[in-house]
Structure 1
Amino acid sequence: MNREWLEKDFYKDLGVSSGASQDEIKKAYRKLARDLHPDKNPGDSKAEERFKAVSEANAVLSDPEKRKEYDEARKLFAGGGFGRGGFPPGGGFSGGEFNLGDIFGAGAGGAGGADGGLGDLLGGLFNRGGTRASSRPRRGSDVETETTLGFREAAQGVTVPLRMTSPAACTTCHGSGAKPGTSPRVCPHCNGTGVVSRNQGAFGFSEPCEDCRGTGSIIDDPCVDCRGSGIQNRTRTITVRIPPGVRDGQRIRLAGQGEAGLRGAPPGDLYVTVHVSQDKVFGRNGDDLTLVLPVSYAELVLGTTVSVPTLDGRVGVKVPPGTADGRTLRVRGRGVPKRDGGAGDLLVTVKVAVPQKLDDDATEALRRYAEAEKTSGFDPRAGWAGA
Structure 2
Amino acid sequence: MSPVSSAPYRSAVNHWAVLGLDPGADSQALKRAFRQQARRWHPDLNGNDPHAEEQFKAVNEAYAVLSDPQRRQQWEQGLDTAEAAAAGLDPFAQGFPDFDDYIEELFGVPQRRSPASRAGDSERPPASEARERSEVTAAPPPPPPVVASSDCESLVELTPEQALQGERVEIDLPDGTCVEVWTPAMAGDGWRLRLAGVAPGGGDHFLQLRVRTPEGLRIDGLRVLYQLDLSPAEGALGCSVVVPTLDGPVQLRVPAGSSSGRLLRLRGRGLQQGEQRGDQLVELRLVVPSVLTEAEEALYARLQQLAAELDGERS
With normalisation by structure 1, the TM-score equals: 0.29
Between the two structures, name the one with larger relative contact order (CA 8 Å, sep ≥ 6).
1
With normalisation by structure 2, the TM-score equals: 0.35
| Structure with greater helix share of residues | 2
| Structure with greater strand share of residues | 1
Structure of greater Rg: 2
